[in-house]
Structure 1
Amino acid sequence: MSRAFIILLAVLFAASILMTGCTAVRPEAENGKLNVYITTYPLYDFTMKIAGDRINATQIIPTGVDAHEFEPSPKLMADLERSDVFIFNGGGLEAWAERVEDSLNRKGVIVVNTGKGIAKDNDPHIWLSPIRAKQQAERIYDALIKADPGNADYYTKNFKLLEAKFDDLDKKYRDTLSKATSRNIITTHAAFAYLCEDYGLNQVPITGVSPGSEPSPRRMAEIIKFIKENNIKYVFFEPLTSPKLADSIARETGIEKLVLDPVEGLTEEQKARNDDYFSIMERNLMSLKKALVE
């Protein structure tokens, strides 16, 4: 074997090592299924309704953890680099995901920013409008088809069923809220702007987009004044966060409290009832009906 040939083999071997270092090795998924990572509960629910048991799905952000504050571990980043599909909400909810989007794309991961072009004003809560949640689900469906065309018929059948559920939910919201005698809702944080925009309501939040923020005394006084001047009868609170702000407002004004769930995760009680996005949104509508229609 000539020296020149040996040198050529060494160069080719070195080049192959470098190429391997630049591209994450995507392991063979269990049973040949896609490895799909999803940041939040609503997107996980939509994904599972489309893909069912045809994928290995992982919800990244646990229930009870503020998605605004979550940061990925090195292990999670390594897992994402070896995944097939990465789905996130966007709109500023997972800043870390937006930072790594280009890098994951270069490694061959199909990345789905479900809120791109839908979210605005740095408000990520688009899933709380059935109309916009359907758009998010469609982007998930498109990504699954791209990643796994062999199961396209299965995904398409399930997505059509999911589309119909969104359309039915949208109709229920429109029909019910068209009868509202009041349009103002007092919420503990500003999660419901898209829902209010799409169904003609006016959100008056105690705090901002992040549920962890605290209102100033001036803001609390403004809310109390608004309630008294507009004959508001209910303040809405959320099941996964402290009700202390709603409690304070209720004590100061004599109004009652109702749950309006931002569907950021499932409580143990909701898990026991086998709740999902749609059942929670139906109960949200019943709360809105009680506050605004009855």
Structure 2
Amino acid sequence: MNVRRLISTTALAGATALGLVTLSACSGTSSAGGGKGGGKLDVVVSFYPMQYLAEQIGGDHVEVTTLTKPGVEPHDLELKLRQASDLRQADYVLYLKGVQPAVDEAIAQSGVEHIVDAATLTTMENHGTEVGHDHGHEGEGHEGEEHEGEEHGAGADAGADPHVWLDPVKYAEVAQGVGDSLAKADPAHAADYRKNTGTLVGKLKALDAKFDAGLKNSTTRTFITTHSAFGYLAERYGLDQHGIAGIDPESEPSPARIKELQSVAKQEKVSTVFFETLATDRTARTLAKDTGLRTDVLDPLEGITDRSKGDDYLSVMESNLAALQKALGAK
């Protein structure tokens, strides 16, 4: 068990029991916003992919607070009492169930009226055993079910891959659901939310077209990366992901797994081992050195920092495309 997550969850439960965190009266009034939003809809989001959606769709009508600060690995987030207080005073909460257990627990206890789980806005899948995806985690989880996208949905099934934002098509589906839910939470600005949603969806469709064209012809379809975040992207564009670690970047690969990846690299003409900006690159660099491969960054976009190859979702995804094209020998 992750001790940091246990401490975080225990602290939040204690705060609730002592009454240190109280529910703001404004959390039940969704049309005008309130609290620290200064008349805007007070939106709290779990981490960067949700922040980007809220800011792009909400525009000038929302005040967005993210629970995961830049540079923090989202899976390890420990919520402070002030963050729990901000959460309970929100008009609208947007998160992705299954990424951050401490956040999931806090949101379940928050009592906020408008809670949206992005996992209910698209079809969640398991990428542990299917052909065309990572093959290093057989037997983990089960396939997710399709949801209608209503608020307070059940979220992703246990074991489902949560990294839907790395597939522009699925991310656009989530964006559409977020736009609809913001319009419901703040009907006075519904027209603007729908307009902004349309603009964002158009940008995501253009990004999808770039990936489709850019990866259509390549020397190899196989890539190796630090953790198995790119299953949806691999499925969308016909690639084969092999993760050193599992869906959770904290998991450590076995010696047998490293040996398997060395064999894959040789057989599939892999040129590059990818690492990422927020997780350790030690194992990736060791594997690359042992197999004579290059290293490069493939960013799972769980947060934007000064090390990111871009300053927002679209620019980092375009950098990811360029890195994949180079590594796969795309023509």
TM-score range, shorter chain: 0.7 to 0.9
Q: Any residues of structure 2 matched to 1:97-246 within 5 Å, and which? A: 97-101=103-107, 103-104=109-110, 107-116=111-120, 118-121=123-126, 122=159, 123-246=161-284
Question: Which residue in 2 is equivalent to 1:16?
Answer: none
Secondary structure at the aligned position of 1:111 is classed as strand
Q: Tell me the amino acid that sits aligned with residue 126 of structure 1.
A: V
Secondary structure at the aligned position of 1:257 is classed as strand
Gaps of 5+ in 2: 1-20, 28-33, 127-158
Question: Which residue in 1 is equivalent to 2:50?
Answer: 43
Structure 1 residue 274: Cα displacement: 6.4
Q: Tell me the amino acid that sits aligned with residue 119 of structure 1.
A: M
Question: Which residue in 1 is equivalent to 2:322?
Answer: 286
User: Computing the radius of gyration over CA atoms, which structure comes out larger, 1 or 2?
Assistant: 1
- What's the CA shift string for 1:217-270, capped at 9, x where partnerless? 221111112112222111111122222122111211111112111011112144
Question: Normalised by the size of structure 1, how large is the TM-score?
Answer: 0.85
Secondary structure at the aligned position of 1:56 is classed as strand
Question: Which residue in 1 is equivalent to 2:71?
Answer: 64
- RMSD between superposed Cα atoms in Å: 2.1
User: More helix by proportion, 1 or 2?
Assistant: 1
Question: Which residue in 2 is equivalent to 1:268?
Answer: 306
Secondary structure at the aligned position of 1:143 is classed as helix
Give aligned pairs, total. 269
Check the 8 A contact 1:36/1:58 in 2, yes or no.
Answer: yes
Secondary structure at the aligned position of 1:208 is classed as coil
Question: Which residue in 2 is equivalent to 1:3?
Answer: none
Structure 1 residue 100: Cα displacement: 4.8
Structure 1 residue 187: Cα displacement: 0.7
Structure 1 residue 95: Cα displacement: 2.4
Question: Which residue in 1 is equivalent to 2:295?
Answer: 257
Check the 8 A contact 1:85/1:143 in 2, yes or no.
Answer: no
Distance 1:131 1:160 in 2: 13
Question: Normalised by the size of structure 2, how large is the TM-score?
Answer: 0.76
Distance 2:305 2:216 in 1: 30
Q: Tell me the amino acid that sits aligned with residue 87 of structure 1.
A: L
Gaps of 5+ in 1: 1-20
Distance 2:82 2:58 in 1: 25
Structure 1's consecutive aligned runs of 4 or more residues displaced over 4 angstroms after TM superposition are: 21-24, 100-103
